[in-house]
Amino acid sequence: MPRLRTAAAATLLFIPIVAGGFLLQESPARASATLFDQVFSIVARQYVDSVPIAATYEKAARGLVKELNDPYSELLSPKQSEDFNRGTNGRYGGTGMYIGQVKLDEQDIVIVDRVFPHTPAEEAGVREGDRIVAVDGVTTQGLRLDQVSDRLRGEPVSTVAVTYARPGVAEPIKLKFVRRVVHVPAVAYNGIVADKIGYVPLQTFNENAAEEVATAVRTLVSGGATGLVLDMRGNPGGIVDQSLAVASLFLREGQDIVSVRGRGLPTEISKATGKHLATDIPLVVLVDGGSASAAEIVAGALQDHDRALVIGTTTYGKGLVQSLYSLNGGYQLKLTTGKWFTPSGRSIHRERKLVSGRFVEVHPDSGSTDSLKRPTFKSDAGRIVYGGGGIRPDIRVADDTLSTRQQEFWRSMAPKSQALQAVLIDYALELKGTVLRDYKVPATWSTEIMRRLSVMGFKVDPKFADVAPAELASELDRRVARLSFGDIAEKSRTLRDDRQLRKAIEMLQRSATQAQLLARVTDGQ
């Protein structure tokens, strides 16, 4: 997420036009201004359907921004501005549920995917897998997911009535919530994921990101962690100041974090300052193609200063700075005004262009041979790091993928997804409290899942008998572990499915210092 600049900048931006800028323009510019005035006037007076003047101006403004061919510059309506601000602040007035939508019997069903702790939803007993039937008496049938979400959200202290359907419960469940400010965590959980290896999943850079990472690091180090994994896979970015604060936690005072180069402006360099909690403990950063913007700033700085070993796949390459200008009527203009560069001078941005209505990479990452095409730079210790857009890992580890048979099986189960979700949640809740922390998954679990699906009118295709039991048992295992012992227990039990995290743990367990960790890459891992 780009740096947000003050509304004052917006005033300065428009002063030359208001103060007679057209008088200073050369003839082509004056001609273009006249052309715009003529087109605007004719459309307003002669177009077959009447278009309100206000709407015409808005369309013109949107057209101007669109024609920049920049996927990151955007004119935000008042509603879009509200959603944008809510997303970056990490707080909203609501009930505390993460919802999703699945198709069942040709109908779109809204289900509860997650219930946040210490929220009205958790306190009322809402469960994963519950189906949202109505909000304030309005059926959810026919509504898009964002429309249901908008109805659930509102001003804190206001009330909202929600009707649920729960598998196994005949009557609808009707609940009334008093909305509260809900904190969406940047670090949903943390813990020891393997022998003395601490794990910190950072999912966004909201206003609390640095504080939550710092708290997690303190907890893990005081608990005996001798190595740390900062997982930023799938992290789309967020508030840039928070990325600077997160990077500072692991760097020394005064080290460069990122620089901004803009049009006609001196280069701005942001340096590490403030809290420095973990400057020595061996650190691995996990990234992938979903890691972008603020996440790339952190990964690039830690890699350039040899402070972290970066593992995973090349990041997205979102290295443009957006300034946010507040406009009249609640509108906001998000405009690209600069580019980010890592301390070694690498541009984070990966160029994209508009092709058939879609933005595609100009020079796509070609996998393991990508290094042959990329410009090279040097880290503080003289290690080669690669430019060319995005942050290329020190160790490239592709994410695990399902086998063809597994993919075919899950496609066959897609029409049954709602029923399967219900069976898994109900069964996991029944098993909660009946298993020990180091439990083994019995064969009876998958048999029971298939029996319960059959009772609901769904049968697993016999041709998938070779993969179905293991796949279903694995899905149930995840839920049982999380419901019984928490998120970190689920992560520990599913390491077999996370090749990148397994590699990080392996490297950390073989390295007592950061220097040893980095040396292992040079030595062939």
Element (H, E) at 155: none
Of the chain, the percentage scoring pLDDT greater than 70 comes to 88
Give the N- to C-terminal CA distance of the chain in Å, as an integer.
33
57-89 pLDDT, tens digit per residue, is 888 988 898 888 777 788 998 888 877 776 666
All residues at 6 or more sequence positions from 241 whose CB lies less than 8 Å from its CB, including other chains: 3
pLDDT at 422: 79
Query: Residue 13's pLDDT band (boundaries 50, 70, 90)?
Result: very low
Domain shared by 107 and 213, yes or no: no
pLDDT at 55: 84
pLDDT at 363: 62
Burial classification of residue 8, based on how many CB atoms lie within 10 Å of its CB (0-12 exposed, 13-18 middle, 19 or more buried):
exposed
Element (H, E) at 349: none
CATH number at residue 146: 2.30.42.10
213-216, long-range: CB within 8 Å, 24+ apart, which pairs?
Answer: 213/186, 213/187, 213/246, 213/249, 214/249, 214/275, 214/277, 215/187, 216/187, 216/190
Output the six-digit token pair for 277.
Answer: 């909690």
Q: Which residues of 50-81 are buried (b: 16+ CB within 10 A; e: fewer)?
A: eeeeeeeeeeeeeeeeeeeebebbbbbeeeeb
**What DSSP state is assigned to residue 172?**
P
- The catalytic residues are 293, 304, 318
List, in sequence order, every residue forming a beta bridge with 268; answer none if it has no partner: 260
Query: Residue 372's pLDDT band (boundaries 50, 70, 90)?
Result: low
Amino acid in the structure at residue 515: A
The answer to whether the CB of 348 falls within 8 A of the CB of 300 is yes
- Of the residues 68, 100, 116, which one is the last residue of a structural domain? 68
Domain shared by 392 and 415, yes or no: no
Query: Residue 414's pLDDT band (boundaries 50, 70, 90)?
Result: confident
Alpha carbons within 13 A on the beta-carbon side of 450: 18
Domain shared by 201 and 170, yes or no: no
- Of the residues 150, 183, 216, which one is the last residue of a structural domain? 183
Domain shared by 99 and 168, yes or no: yes
Query: Residue 360's pLDDT band (boundaries 50, 70, 90)?
Result: low
Q: Is the pLDDT of residue 90 over 90?
A: no
Instruction: Tell me whether residue 148 is in a domain.
Output: yes
Average pLDDT score over residue span 426-453: 92
- Which one is predicted more confidently, 48 or 362? 48
Instruction: Tell me whether residue 513 is in a domain.
Output: no
Domain shared by 204 and 333, yes or no: yes
Instruction: Tell me whether residue 451 is in a domain.
Output: yes
Rounded CA-CA distance 62/56 in Å is: 10
Rounded CA-CA distance 232/286 in Å is: 6
Query: Residue 130's pLDDT band (boundaries 50, 70, 90)?
Result: confident
Domain shared by 103 and 196, yes or no: no
Strand (E) positions, 362-441? 376-378, 384-386, 395-396
Domain shared by 466 and 354, yes or no: no
- Of the residues 183, 208, 224, which one is the last residue of a structural domain? 183
Q: Is 93 helix (H, G, I), strand (E, B) or coil?
A: strand
Domain shared by 316 and 388, yes or no: yes
Rounded CA-CA distance 394/201 in Å is: 19
170-220 pLDDT, tens digit per residue, is 899 999 999 998 888 899 899 999 989 999 999 999 889 999 999 999 999
271-305 pLDDT, tens digit per residue, is 999 999 989 999 999 999 999 999 999 999 999 99
Instruction: Tell me whether residue 266 is in a domain.
Output: yes
pLDDT at 11: 32
Domain shared by 389 and 418, yes or no: no
Instruction: Tell me whether residue 517 is in a domain.
Output: no
List, in sequence order, every residue forming a beta bridge with 264; answer none if it has no partner: none
List, in sequence order, every residue forming a beta bridge with 360; answer none if it has no partner: 353
pLDDT at 103: 65
Number of domains making up the chain: 4
Q: Is 359 helix (H, G, I), strand (E, B) or coil?
A: strand
Q: 149: domain range?
A: 91-183
Burial classification of residue 18, based on how many CB atoms lie within 10 Å of its CB (0-12 exposed, 13-18 middle, 19 or more buried):
exposed
Q: Is the pLDDT of residue 2 over 50?
A: no
Average pLDDT of every residue of the chain: 86
Rounded CA-CA distance 174/163 in Å is: 4
Q: What's this model's pTM, rounded to 2 decimal places? A: 0.79
Alpha carbons within 13 A on the beta-carbon side of 24: 6
Domain shared by 172 and 219, yes or no: no
222-274 pLDDT, tens digit per residue, is 999 999 999 999 999 988 999 999 999 999 999 999 999 988 889 999 999 99
Domain shared by 434 and 298, yes or no: no
Query: Nearest-CA neighbor of 428 among 220, 128, 154?
Result: 128
Domain shared by 419 and 353, yes or no: no
Query: Residue 23's pLDDT band (boundaries 50, 70, 90)?
Result: very low
Rounded CA-CA distance 386/377 in Å is: 6
- 192 phi-psi bin (left φ>0, alpha ψ -120 to 50, beta other): beta
Query: Residue 344's pLDDT band (boundaries 50, 70, 90)?
Result: very high
Cα 488–Cα 493–Cα 496 angle in degrees, nearest 5? 125
Instruction: Tell me whether residue 4 is in a domain.
Output: no
Instruction: Tell me whether residue 462 is in a domain.
Output: yes
Instruction: Tell me whether residue 86 is in a domain.
Output: no
The answer to whether the CB of 503 falls within 8 A of the CB of 400 is no
CATH number at residue 221: 3.90.226.10
